[in-house]
Amino acid sequence: MFADLLQLMARRPRAGYERDFVRSVSVHHRSPRNQRVERVLVLGWVLIALKTAVLVWALPHYHVLLPFNVLWVVAPTIVFGVLCTVVYLLRD
């Protein structure tokens, strides 16, 4: 590490620098699907659907001091669920 620093400070490139430099890396195969992660994603979507159903039922059924729209609670949940699913699907 210090040898490279001294060569850099002396402005003399190391012998074979261009040869040692990695120009590109390519991988052509897709990583295998992880069944456990996919089950967790499906479970998460089921829980999001249950949460949405409970909120849609409970908000009009019970008296709320300051009424609000159900989407204020459901929309961020769905957005983050979509984000997690997309990150998993586009992992390669």
- Over its C-alpha atoms, the chain yields an Rg (Å, rounded) of 26
| Diameter over CA atoms, the chain | 78
Q: pLDDT at position 84, please?
A: 95
Q: Show the tokens assigned to 3.
A: 């040898």
Contact 18, 69 (CB under 8 A): no
Give the residues of the chain that fall short of pLDDT 70.
1-23, 92
Contact 7, 20 (CB under 8 A): no
Query: What pTM does this model have?
Result: 0.63
- Residue range of the domain that includes 63: 2-89
Q: pLDDT at position 20, please?
A: 62
38-54: pLDDT as tens digits = 999 999 999 999 999 99
Integer distance in angstroms from the first to the last C-alpha of the chain? 33
- Residue 2 and residue 56: Cα distance in Å, rounded? 64
Q: pLDDT at position 80, please?
A: 97
Q: Compute the half-sphere exposure of residue 62: CA atoms within 13 Å on the CB side of its CA.
A: 10
Report the domain count for the chain: 1
